């Protein structure tokens, strides 16, 4: 854990332009309250509690299934969604978007009020969806063809904590790996079969699906959302040209990365992601070995990226990953990537991870970002000061934070090249075998659902603020 600094933040008011269209240039002062819900070609209403799929989708006669509403909506429509859990067609556990459309959650049952924290529109698949969840993210977006097209995801709560496989929280059992007070033990990965302890959800899913996956072209905005307990990335998408604007979201306890976006275009400077005013906490490594992944945000090849006003805390590997370098040196030289005005605390290896040039990694603290030539804009990144750490610590689930700070691990192996089995395998030209056992005190345990909402507005002026 790094020591917090007391450097005073200098207020930023400038705008970072990437040479794209004026629509792509978003002020650092912009907040979610300044952006209205778009006026669409048509407005449809959805209520899982009071709707029917035989209804016409009007406010007085809402559709029940969000997937049904998306399917019947014309391109450019706005779909308003009430509180409730939405699991897709026939409750399969996933929803697909294949047209330019706006999805706005957080409405009361009668659509008279909107408050995404009070009236929660959720996508929380459970054990019942294990066999029907398909080979895609909880929300799969695949829309291309219009560089000026608009896709909006606003006020949706994504959580895989009820479908993932976790061992029970047996606090005195090293296999369970649960700090006292955590609601589950560690997550169970693909191919794992923990011995001696049962699972919290015996039918839990051990598979690599994102919370949001897919590819899109145009203007994609994701705001006012919660991404919780993602097994395999919170957001992992490809930008086929245009602007992705991701802001005022809370990301907690996701594996691999909170946000990984890449471009699939040959020409540089055609795809831009603006990742700002988000709170990103407890992003976990690929495996319990904790040797790779576990990043808040990844600068992938082909994408320009502007990252600012975020909170990155307790990343299991590093807060930001800028290790991917385009093999085409000309394209790499044209990439525009920045990180400025961000707050960091408790990130395991560093605040920014770079390639070392010798096959390893260079771990950079926020105070040294000005010396990173890959960052066009770099000012005012810093570690949280003591007052800020104290404030946000009161918002984080206490057992989870305590467990993360005190993570311990052991690794044992058994290999006997002279055993009869290995001698026999050697005679047949096969590799010899051994066993390896890794124990960790904590790894991607489920984060409490209710506590995730406390992180909105946890630190004034940084990270996700109140939802409006």
Residue 320 has pLDDT above 90, yes or no: yes
Q: For 341-442, where are the E strands, in sequence order? A: 343-345, 350-355, 361-364, 382-383, 409-414, 435-440
Residue 421 has pLDDT above 70, yes or no: no
pLDDT digits (tens, 9 = 90+) for 191-205: 777 777 778 876 666
Share of the chain above pLDDT 90, in %: 62
Instruction: For residues 81 and 101, give the distance between their C-alpha atoms in angstroms, rounded to a whole number.
Output: 13
pLDDT of residue 17: 28
Residue 3 has pLDDT above 90, yes or no: no
In the structure encoding, which two tokens stand for residue 390, read together?
A: 């104290």
Residue 410 has pLDDT above 80, yes or no: no
Strand pairing class (435-440; 409-414): antiparallel
pLDDT digits (tens, 9 = 90+) for 241-280: 999 999 999 999 999 999 999 997 888 899 999 999 999 9
Per-domain residue ranges of the chain: 22-407+444-455, 413-439
Region of residue 315 (phi > 0: left; psi between -120 and 50: alpha; otherwise: beta): beta
Average pLDDT over residues 374-394: 95
Region of residue 229 (phi > 0: left; psi between -120 and 50: alpha; otherwise: beta): left
Strand pairing class (257-263; 102-107): unpaired
Q: CA 168 from chain center: how many Å?
A: 24
Closest CA to 227 of 452, 412, 459: 452
Cβ pair 341, 308 in contact under 8 A: yes
3-state secondary structure of 153: strand
Average pLDDT, the chain: 84
- A 10 A CB-CB count for 347 gives 29
Could you tell me how many helices (H) and strands (E) the chain has, helices first? 6, 27
Cβ pair 144, 219 in contact under 8 A: no
Task: Give the DSSP H or E segment for 385.
Answer: none
pLDDT of residue 392: 96
Cβ pair 113, 68 in contact under 8 A: no
In the structure encoding, which two tokens stand for residue 218, read together?
A: 């145009």
Residue 283 has pLDDT above 90, yes or no: yes
Residue 221 sits at φ, ψ, to 5 deg, of -120, 130
Residue 430 CB contacts under 8 Å (≥ 6 apart), including other chains: none
DSSP letter, residue 414: E
pLDDT of residue 426: 60
pLDDT of residue 412: 42
At residue 326 the predicted structure's pLDDT band, cuts being 50, 70 and 90, is confident
pLDDT of residue 6: 30
pLDDT of residue 209: 83
Average pLDDT over residues 348-367: 88
């Amino acid at each position: 854990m790094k020591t917090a600094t007391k450097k005073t933040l200098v207020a930023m008011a400038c705008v970072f332009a990437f040479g794209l269209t004026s629509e792509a240039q978003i002020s650092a002062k912009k907040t979610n309250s300044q952006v209205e819900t778009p006026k669409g070609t048509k407005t449809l209403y959805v209520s899982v509690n009071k709707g029917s799929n035989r209804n016409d989708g009007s406010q007085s006669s809402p559709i029940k299934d969000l997937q049904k509403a998306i399917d019947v909506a014309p391109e450019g429509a706005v779909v308003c969604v009430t509180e409730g859990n939405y699991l897709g067609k026939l409750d399969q556990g996933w929803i697909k978007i294949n047209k330019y459309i706006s999805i706005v959650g957080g409405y009361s049952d009668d659509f008279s009020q909107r408050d995404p924290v009070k009236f929660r529109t959720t996508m929380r698949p459970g054990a019942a969806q294990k066999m029907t969840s398909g080979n895609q993210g909880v929300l799969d977006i695949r829309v291309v063809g219009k560089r000026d097209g608009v896709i909006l995801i606003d006020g949706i709560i994504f959580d895989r904590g009820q479908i993932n496989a976790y061992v029970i929280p047996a606090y005195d059992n090293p296999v369970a790996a649960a700090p006292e007070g955590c609601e589950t033990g560690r997550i169970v990965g693909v191919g794992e079969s923990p011995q001696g302890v049962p699972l919290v959800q015996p039918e839990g899913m051990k598979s690599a699906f994102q919370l949001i996956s897919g590819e899109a072209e145009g203007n994609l905005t994701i705001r006012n959302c919660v991404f919780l307990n993602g097994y395999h990335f919170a957001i992992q998408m490809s930008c086929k040209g245009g602007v992705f604007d991701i802001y005022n979201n809370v990301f907690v306890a996701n594996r691999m990365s909170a946000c990984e976006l890449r471009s699939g275009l040959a020409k540089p400077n055609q795809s831009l992601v603006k990742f700002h005013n988000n709170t990103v906490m407890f992003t976990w490594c690929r495996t319990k070995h904790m040797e790779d992944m576990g990043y808040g945000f990844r600068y992938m090849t082909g994408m320009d990226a502007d990252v600012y006003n975020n909170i990155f805390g307790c990343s299991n590997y590093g807060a930001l990953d800028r290790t991917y370098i385009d093999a085409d040196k000309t394209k790499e030289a044209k990439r525009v990537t920045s990180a400025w005005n961000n707050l960091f605390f408790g990130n395991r290896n560093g605040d920014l991870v770079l390639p070392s040039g010798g096959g390893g990694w260079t771990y950079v603290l926020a105070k040294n970002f000005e010396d990173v030539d890959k960052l066009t804009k770099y000012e005012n990144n810093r570690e949280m000061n003591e007052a800020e750490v104290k404030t946000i610590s009161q918002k984080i689930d206490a057992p989870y934070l305590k467990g993360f700070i005190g993570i311990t691990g052991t690794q044992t192996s058994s290999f006997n090249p002279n055993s009869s089995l290995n001698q026999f395998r050697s005679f047949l030209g096969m590799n010899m075998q051994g066993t390896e056992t890794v124990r960790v005190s904590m790894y991607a345990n489920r984060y409490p659902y209710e506590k995730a909402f406390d992180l909105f507005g946890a630190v004034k002026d940084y990270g996700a603020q109140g939802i409006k």
